[in-house]
């Protein structure tokens, strides 16, 4: 091989690497786009902000509004966020948002994911009250055959552990919506 062919092969390789990196940037979803792709809407959307998203986990926040529908009856005169809602917050941020990020090439505005919670095991330690902002930290345990299992923790504003556990779900791209 002569110098010119080695040099041109090197230039071609550099161009190819640049194209791959440029293309990869376009396929990464930003945090706001992930939230837009969630298959939920108020009053059952419990994701306000994502601060970290990687292939290994996600971190996000939600603030419980004083007028949330579930506070009317849980509990009379002493509103406390139900455990099932805390579990839903952890599932939406810790599993669904992460799943959308992992399926980034297969989901879009017209092709939102289908989601089914398959199992969860959660331990609760502290109550959450109206107007509290909570942080969810999720760590991917595995993602294979469209099943995502995560270790998930929820913290209050004082960074105290409110609840933790594992949540699993099945995620697959939906048929293209027309």
In the set 74, 104, 133, 172, the catalytic residue is: 74
Annotated active-site residue 26? The verdict is no
Q: Which residues pair with 153 in a beta bridge?
A: 137, 164
Instruction: For residue 140, give the nearest of 97, 87, 86 by alpha carbon.
Output: 97
Q: Which residues pair with 49 in a beta bridge?
A: 61
On whether the CB atoms of residues 90 and 57 are closer than 8 A, the answer is no
Rounded to 5 degrees, φ, ψ at 36 are -65, -30
Residue positions annotated with a catalytic role? 74
């Amino acid at each position: 091989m002569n110098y010119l062919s080695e040099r041109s092969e090197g230039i071609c390789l550099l161009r190819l690497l640049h194209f791959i990196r440029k293309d990869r940037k376009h396929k990464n979803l930003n945090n706001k786009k992930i939230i837009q792709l969630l298959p939920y809407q108020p009053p059952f959307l419990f994701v306000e902000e994502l601060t970290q998203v990687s292939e290994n986990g996600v971190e996000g926040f939600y603030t419980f509004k004083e007028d949330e529908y579930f506070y009317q009856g849980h509990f009379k005169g002493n509103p406390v966020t139900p455990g099932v809602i805390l579990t839903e917050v952890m599932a939406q941020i810790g599993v669904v948002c992460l799943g959308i990020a992992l399926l980034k090439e297969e989901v879009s505005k017209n092709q939102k994911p289908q989601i089914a919670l398959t199992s969860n095991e959660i331990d609760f330690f502290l109550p959450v009250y109206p107007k509290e902002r909570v942080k969810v930290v999720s760590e991917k345990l595995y993602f294979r055959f469209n099943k995502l299992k995560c270790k998930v923790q929820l913290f209050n504003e004082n960074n105290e552990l409110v609840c933790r556990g594992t949540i699993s779900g099945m995620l697959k791209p939906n048929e293209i919506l027309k």
